[in-house]
Amino acid sequence: MRTCPLVAVALMLVTGVATAQGDRGKRLYDAHCARCHSIGGTGGEGPALARPVLPRAADDETLFDVIRNGIEGTDMPETWQLSKSEIEEIVLYVRSLGRIEREALTGDPERGRALYEGRGGCVVCHIVEGEGGILGPDLTNIGSLRGTAHLREALTDPGASVLKGYVVVRAIQADGTEVTGHRINEDSFTIQLRDERGRFHSLSKRDLRELEPKPGQSLMPSYEKELTSEEIEDIVAFLAGLRGAP
């Protein structure tokens, strides 16, 4: 993938701040938090943390509690194995990420909105403030949840980081019927898929001839060749401004 100079600058800033805060917090963060929140807190499977206000953690004490106890009903786990002082170091580091100057956006959000609703066809699969299709994730709040690097990657290489619930699976039934769709849920005996038309399929694994997860694939097309890099930056600028719900 091409390197964006802005991303490089942002990473340098992150590194600089980390050193100022001491390496320990960063090391702990990279080891325990970065898998979901990404190096530098730009967001991935978990929300971006490199922002001044964290909706679930208004102050350091709440952030400590969130790290210690996790968030019920989400994938944020409790971290009972970390000591009090280790969590405090992580809190300091996460707060430092929020003070990093935000990456300047080169795109035009209004042109981005036009592309989103028009030629890009994004609205067919995504909801923003209640309007749009349901095949992809709701983007109402995406600017708060994900950093710009993640948004750019999602447009050019949508298979690079597929969210839980959007993993593509191909199943071939005993009679040869094929279903490809998002894996909505799965256990050791059954799997639930939603196909590209939004229909649910409940399949018993015993009855399947083949079940093939396709990691690194997405039902979303890549826009790398469909749009110019300027147009992609326009959409990134539009998405980065979507901060609808708190």
Partner 1 sequence: MTRSVILLVTVFAFSAMLEGQVTYERLRNADREPGQWLTYSGDYASHRFSSLDEISRDNVARLRPAWIYQTQESGELETSPLVADGVMYLTEASGAVVALDVKTGRELWRWSRPLPNDLRTLGFPRTNRGLAILGETVYAGTLDAHLIALDAISGAVRWDRNVAENELGYAITAAPLAIDGKIIMGVSGGEAGIRGFLDAYDAATGERVWRFHTVPGPGEPGNETWGGDSWKTGGGATWLTGSYDPESNLLIWGTGNPAPDWNGDSRPGDNLYTCSVVALHADSGALAWFFQFTPHDVHDWDANQIPVLVEEVVQGERRKLVAMANRNAFYYLIDRTTGQFLRATPYAKQTWAKEIDETGRPVLLPDKAPTEEGTLVWPSLQGATNWFSPSYSPRTKLLYVAVREMGSYYFKAEAEYEPGEYFMGGGERALRDEAYGAIRALDIATGETRWEFKQLTPPWAGVLSTAGDLVFAGSEEGNFFALDATTGEPLWQFQTGGDVRANPIAFEIDGKQHIGVAAGRAIFVFGL
Q: Which of 84, 104, 175, 197 binds partner 1 (CB under 8 A)?
A: 84
Rounded distance between C-alpha atoms, residue 149 and residue 160, angstroms: 12
Q: Are 29 and 93 in contact (CB under 8 A)?
A: yes
88 belongs to the binding site for partner 1 (CB under 8 A): no
200-204, strands of its sheet edge to edge: 200-204, 190-195, 178-186, 168-173, 208-214
72 forms part of the interface with partner 1 (CB under 8 A): no
- Within 22-51, the residues that bind partner 1 by CB under 8 A are 27-28, 31-32, 35
As a whole number of Å, the CA-based R_g of the chain is: 20
- Residues in 172-191 that interact with partner 1 by CB under 8 A: 186-190
Q: Which one, 28 or 139, has the nearer CB to partner 1?
A: 28
CA distances 245 to 6, 67, 145, 164, 169, Å, are 27, 22, 11, 21, 31
**Residue 19 in contact with partner 1, rule: CB under 8 A:** no
CB of 139 or CB of 191, closer to partner 1: 191
Least Å from the CB of residue 73 to partner 1: 13
Residues in contact with partner 1 by the rule CB under 8 A: 27-28, 31-32, 35, 79-84, 86, 186-190, 206
